[in-house]
Chains A and B, each alone.
Chain A
């Protein structure tokens, strides 16, 4: 039967199990939008800026494990997706982006709204396609979803010219995926797994460092089995948070620049690091030449290029970490590490990272902790980037995966609101809290309209300190407190929310925090709280740039706090 390119695209998306498309229409994709009503099973969510579509698709993918789909027109529509695609790429999120392109006869002519989006996204996609014939659409869609989700996930972009959407061809559903150049290794090499098991059995001070790969691979049970059987403390990366219950007795927090000092110390002093689905990012390792000097490293990852990229590795194991761990666990002999755990507990006692300072001021950490209590630790927390993100990661405790949704690798301010939309659409039953900074919130604030139009009951907490807080913190600590262009003139966020049809509250006092959170939770719909917090509160600990993991600056004792602090503008 003959169908148009647009119909074939929709048929193919339905065949891939797509339920939601985050998109924004425009000239080149009009034939596709004209076709969408024929496919009511494809729910289209109209964003207010294409960046929001890409972030929403990304967050949708993170909470569901299914590919998220975003759609934009050619030219500016496509370029607006770029930040979101890059964000998905750095955090290995399966996003399929569909862009319109000018009609084939206009390609290469600098036509209206023409841009070479496959060229632009070459470095930030796992793969991309320019589809020049409607006959290719079914195959390209199938390949795109395969590539986006298989192996190490990542974004894939399909660029489709307007006249290809309109082209009528015989519709033949896609057959098997045939990609001779793409065959991810799924099972670890048995001899390397054996070597890893031997190292684990003989280690005296082992640590597990678990990353997002555990979440992607859903290797939660396997990780737990390994940790409990071999009695190894589990430390996660920022994006690995929740892959192992943070309230578990073997959980020792997360590592890196703002990780817990005891977690960093444990990694630094360990004699074996079992790295599972993580990539030794510079924010996780500190200065890499001095990373874990006494440790041998077993590195499991599905991406062979990650092994040996940043740190030397003693036992590389390429494969899906779930499969690797299943094979490894059969060879693990039960062990105890009493001395090591005593040492770790002592460090944890000496370096309290998660206590909240007693004071009358409204502290951001207190806000996060109260959200934790109010939601019973079971909310999906979608953060911005900066101080709000670190506090949300530190002061909420995550016992389950997919609860913290955050931009790690790219560090994209503005991810929070569209990310929360994607998370809520993906998991409608979840309680979704968007933890925003007053800076980042204004980068994608227009998505409040999307939220209202789709009636998504997202609760927004703005951690409003009147600064670009993390940059201000760096200026305070490393640039002699010279606050250049970090102080913000802010609008009235409650009135902004009101203008979009979202009820809101402003909280300035500690005593009002819990009632406000309760009111937000009780309200049946989206709700915004503007928490006006202590302006110069810092994120501690912090590993300064160029320092090792054990050279972190920790929360100063009360008497050491600068008495001039608290006055805005420095």
Chain B
């Protein structure tokens, strides 16, 4: 039996309208639950990178990956979970702060190497970057002060070392043969 775990899938997709919809719609209709999905540009203007976190056993996640690979605009998709990737997310946390609690909050923020990015009379906005555990720990500590709003990006990830599984040049080099594989046979030989 394989165990259920969170997997990080990274997809290079063509930067065309509706691609995010195709990906999320496919996950929904195949009954796969998305933990998070983050999309951004790459160094290649016509390609975007999606980082998709899904939960499931290996077989189920492999099925997700293969189904997503069938989306025409998905140029390449890999499961980088076992590559020990560097994974980060960013969170903006608006926390209640009075004159008496402000310095305590700032101390906690410092310990987490997070930043205060906005100060108002009764709130602070904290910006924190890290893996989910770090963000969650900071949230736990700040909860006591009263959290007003949270915005989290979801995970983005890169495999460590030089040879990532998704080298952009490689993805671009994939070109199609012109002819459909069966077009040459006009009518079935056994007709």
A489 located at the interface, meaning its Cβ lies under 8 Å from any Cβ of chain B in the complex: no
9 CB < 8 A contacts A-B = A65-B187, A126-B72, A149-B182, A176-B176, A181-B72, A181-B73, A184-B181, A320-B182, A402-B188
Whether the pair B21, A305 counts as a contact (CB closer than 8 A) is no
- A305 to B63: give the CA distance in the assembly, Å: 6
Most buried by A among B18, B72, B185: B72
B14 contacts partner chain A, Cβ-Cβ < 8 Å: yes
> In the complex the two chains form, is B175's CB within 8 Å of A150's CB?
no
Q: 1/0 contact trace for B156-177 toward A, CB 8 Å?
A: 0000000000000001101110
Q: Return chain A residues, CB-CB under 8 Å to B187.
A: 64-65
Which A47-77 residues have a C-beta within 8 angstroms of B? 64-66
Task: Report the minimal beta-carbon distance from A66 to chain B, rounded to whole angstroms.
Answer: 8
With beta carbons under 8 angstroms apart, the residue of A186, A220, A400 that contacts B181 is A186
Report the 9 A-B pairs with minimum CB-CB distance, sorted nearest first: A305-B66, A181-B75, A149-B180, A150-B180, A180-B174, A127-B72, A180-B75, A176-B178, A182-B72
Chain B residue contacts of A293, Cβ below 8 A: none
Q: Which residues of B sit under 8 angstroms from A119, Cβ to Cβ? A: 21
| A218, B21: Cβ atoms closer than 8 Å | no
Name A's interface SS. Answer: loop
Contacts of A151 in B (CB 8 A): 181
Report yes or no: A147 in contact with B72, Cβ–Cβ below 8 A: yes
Q: Which residues of A contact B183 (CB under 8 A)?
A: 149
Which residues in B have some Cβ–Cβ distance to A below 8 Å? 13-14, 17-18, 21-22, 25-26, 29, 59, 62-63, 66-67, 69-76, 171-172, 174-176, 178, 180-183, 185-191
The answer to whether A305 and B190 have CB atoms under 8 Å apart is: no
Q: Which of A130, A176, A181, A308 contacts B63 (CB 8 A)?
A: A308
CA–CA, A64 and B176, complex, Å: 25
B69 & A304 in contact (Cβ 8 Å cutoff): yes
Are A118 and B72 closer than 8 Å at their CB atoms?
A: no
- Contacting B at CB under 8 A, from A204-224, are 216-218, 220-221
The reply to whether B189 and A218 contact each other, CB–CB distance below 8 Å, is: yes
Write out the residue numbers on chain B whose beta carbons fall within 8 Å of the beta carbon of A126: 72
Residue among A181, A186, A309 facing the most chain B CB atoms (10 A cut-off):
A181
* Shortest Cβ gap from A561 to chain B (Å): 41
Question: Which residue of B17, B25, B76, B176 has the most chain A CB atoms within 10 A of its CB atom?
Answer: B176
CB closest chain-B residue, reference A149: B180
**Which A residues are in CB contact (< 8 Å) with B185?**
65, 218
| Cβ-neighbour of A217 out of B22, B182, B189 (below 8 A) | B182
Of chain A, the residue at the smallest CB distance from B47 is A180
> Are A220 and B72 in contact, CB atoms less than 8 angstroms apart?
no
In A132-189, which residues have CB < 8 Å from any B CB?
Answer: 145-147, 149-151, 176-184, 186
Tell me the nearest residue of chain B to A66, going by C-beta.
B186
Do A178 and B188 touch (CB < 8 A)? no
B48 to chain A: closest CB distance in Å? 12
- How far does the alpha carbon of A182 sit from the alpha carbon of B70 in the complex, in Å? 7
Structural contact, B14 and A221, CB atoms closer than 8 A? no
Q: Are the C-beta atoms of A65 and B62 separated by less than 8 Å?
A: no
- CB-defined contacts of A304 to chain B, threshold 8 Å: 66, 69
How near does chain A come to B64, taking the closest CB pair, in angstroms?
10
* Complexed CA–CA distance, A401 and B186 (Å): 15
Shortest A247–chain B CB gap in Å is: 14
B66 touches A122 (CB 8 A): no
A401 and B69 contacting across the interface, CB-CB below 8 Å: no
Given A181-B72, A218-B189, A320–B176 Cβ distance below 8 Å?
A: no
Q: Does A91 contact B (CB under 8 A)?
A: no
Q: Indicate if the CB atoms of B72 and A305 lie closer than 8 Å.
A: no
Say whether, besides A180-B174, A180-B175, A309-B63, A122 and B25 are in contact (CB < 8 Å).
yes
Does A216 lie within 8 Å of B182, measured CB to CB?
A: yes
**In the complex, are the beta carbons of A181 and B181 less than 8 A apart?**
no
Chain B residue numbers with a CB within 8 Å of A118 are: 18
Contacts of B188 in A (CB 8 A): 65, 218, 220, 401-402
The 0/1 profile, CB within 8 Å of B marked 1, for residues 409-444 of chain A is 000000000000000000100000000000000000
B71 to chain A: which residues have CB within 8 Å?
181
